[in-house]
């Protein structure tokens, strides 16, 4: 599990987790806080299912999403879910390299 929803904080600090958290941040920023992915989970494919470089593939599954209108389906916590991500997200090196907006800017966009 790479990201949570409503108060769930994951303390993974590896590069893969940082990339997935930056992806959630990127989507939120680029939709002007109108859509975000939450509860992103993943697992590596079976060892016999390797890509052309001989690496297993991470398969992401079962994401939830939050929208200001709570219109994305089951588990959409609306503004509360988005605000929770903004307040708990700690920008990482991937966020910095992508020059993503600070949580303060995201909060202003949400408001």
Tell me the C-alpha to C-alpha distance, in Å, between residue 45 and each of 13, 38, 51, 60, 102.
21, 21, 10, 10, 34
Report the pLDDT value the prediction gives residue 80, as an integer from 0 to 100: 95
Task: Kindly report the pTM of this predicted structure.
Answer: 0.83
CATH fold of 15-110 reads: Protein kinase-like fold (3.20.200)
44-88 pLDDT, tens per residue?
876 666 667 667 778 888 889 999 999 998 889 999 999 999 998
Report the pLDDT value the prediction gives residue 43, as an integer from 0 to 100: 83
90-110 pLDDT, tens per residue?
899 999 999 999 999 999 999
Report the pLDDT value the prediction gives residue 10, as an integer from 0 to 100: 60
């Amino acid at each position: 599990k790479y990201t949570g929803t409503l108060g769930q904080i994951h303390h993974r600090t590896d590069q893969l987790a940082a990339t997935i958290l930056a992806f959630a941040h990127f989507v939120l920023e680029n939709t002007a806080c109108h859509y975000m992915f939450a509860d992103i989970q993943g697992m590596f494919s079976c060892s016999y299912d390797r890509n052309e470089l001989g690496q297993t593939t991470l398969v992401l599954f079962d994401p939830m999403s939050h929208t200001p209108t709570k219109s994305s389906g089951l588990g959409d916590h609306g503004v509360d879910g988005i605000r929770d991500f903004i307040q708990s997200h700690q920008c990482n090196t991937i966020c910095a390299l992508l020059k993503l907006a600070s949580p303060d800017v995201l909060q202003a966009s949400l408001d």
